[in-house]
Amino acid sequence: MLKNNPQAERKMEGKSKKETGKSGGRFLFFAFCLFTFSFAAACRYDMQDQPRYKALKKSDFFKDGKAMRELPEGTVPRGFLREDKAFYTGKTEAGQNATTAPNPAATPATDASGNTLVTDFSGLIEEFPVPVSKELIDRGEQRYKVFCIVCHGPVGNGDGMIVRRGFSKPPTYNDDRLRNAPVGHFYDVITNGQGKMNSYASQVPPADRWAIVAYIRTLQISQNPNGANMPMTPMNRTNTNAPTPTMNNANPAAATETHGGAR
């Protein structure tokens, strides 16, 4: 359109001269930036390029010849201080310091299924290191049904579905030996396993282990004809708010129920 109109073209020329001046400045500025920053990029010195040691390599710099430094004594990974030893181990101070099993000579007895019948519970705490509340027991019930019921059965008689399908039968929780076992024993078995039972430490965090132990105690009370007066000393002695031995958490009907169906 402009080409056909010489007057307009002239007008535009004047204008475009001015514009050329402006865009020339912009071009110069751009060129300057390009120039400067391309140098800056060339000078980049990333952390991955700097001189460094690889893990476990030799070093001439340090006296001990190791590139890796020793951790200062007492270093603890973040979140692993675990000062409350009783909570994290289920053991008394003596039990924590013991280097051998409580008393190996006292525990060689096995039952008909080949289970180790532990009778020496020394070094294990008798008191729950956490307050026992309904919430704790409810949580324990839920976790028990996830991780333990398959072998130990709905009320802890050792008749879980896996056992019915051939896995060796664990001892019942409902005899005097385990009724009188300290809470630390149950915690310890969950943490470290025992005999044919694996450790459940990686699946069940410490707080949940105590919840499960509280639920096991509830099962034991529910399965004892004298439940109401049951000398659950470890539990009764320890907790002002210990669960009253009612059947609320371990419904007697559920006791005979075969979860998953008998086959």
**Residue 44 Cβ vs ligand HEC, minimum distance, rounded to whole Å:** 54
The 3-state DSSP class for residue 230 equals: coil
Which of 142, 235, 139, 130 is CA-nearest to residue 181? 235
CB 197 within 8 A of CB 188: no
160 vs 243 by CB, closer to ligand HEC: 160
Which 205-224 residues touch ligand HEC, going by CB under 6 A? 212
Q: Which of 140, 153, 171, 206 binds ligand HEC (CB under 6 A)?
A: 171
The 3-state DSSP class for residue 66 equals: strand
Rounded distance between C-alpha atoms, residue 217 and residue 234, angstroms: 10
Contact string (CB under 6 A) for ligand HEC, positions 135-164, x = contact: ------------xx-xxx---------x--
96 vs 167 by CB, closer to ligand HEC: 167
Rounded distance between C-alpha atoms, residue 209 and residue 217, angstroms: 12
Q: Is the dihedral of CA 162, 163, 168, 171 positive or negative?
A: positive
Does 190 engage in binding with ligand HEC (CB under 6 A)? Answer: yes
Contact string (CB under 6 A) for ligand HEC, positions 89-128, x = contact: --------------------------xxxx----------
The 3-state DSSP class for residue 153 equals: coil
116 vs 180 by CB, closer to ligand HEC: 116
**Residue 153 Cβ vs ligand HEC, minimum distance, rounded to whole Å:** 10
Interface stretch with ligand HEC, choices 2-10, 22-30, 55-63, 184-192 (CB under 6 A): 184-192
Does 250 engage in binding with ligand HEC (CB under 6 A)? Answer: no
Does 200 engage in binding with ligand HEC (CB under 6 A)? Answer: yes
Does 88 engage in binding with ligand HEC (CB under 6 A)? Answer: no
* Consecutive H or E run containing 145: helix 134-147
**Residue 148 Cβ vs ligand HEC, minimum distance, rounded to whole Å:** 3
Q: Is the dihedral of CA 75, 207, 88, 171 positive or negative?
A: negative
Say how many residues touch ligand HEC, by CB under 6 A: 25
The type of residue at 247 is: M
Q: Which of 98, 167, 224, 239 binds ligand HEC (CB under 6 A)?
A: 167
CB atoms within 10 A of CB 23: 11
CB atoms within 10 A of CB 84: 11
Rounded distance between C-alpha atoms, residue 131 and residue 143, angstroms: 18
Q: Which residues bind ligand HEC (CB under 6 A)?
A: 115-118, 147-148, 150-152, 162, 167-168, 170-171, 178, 186, 189-190, 194-197, 200, 204, 212
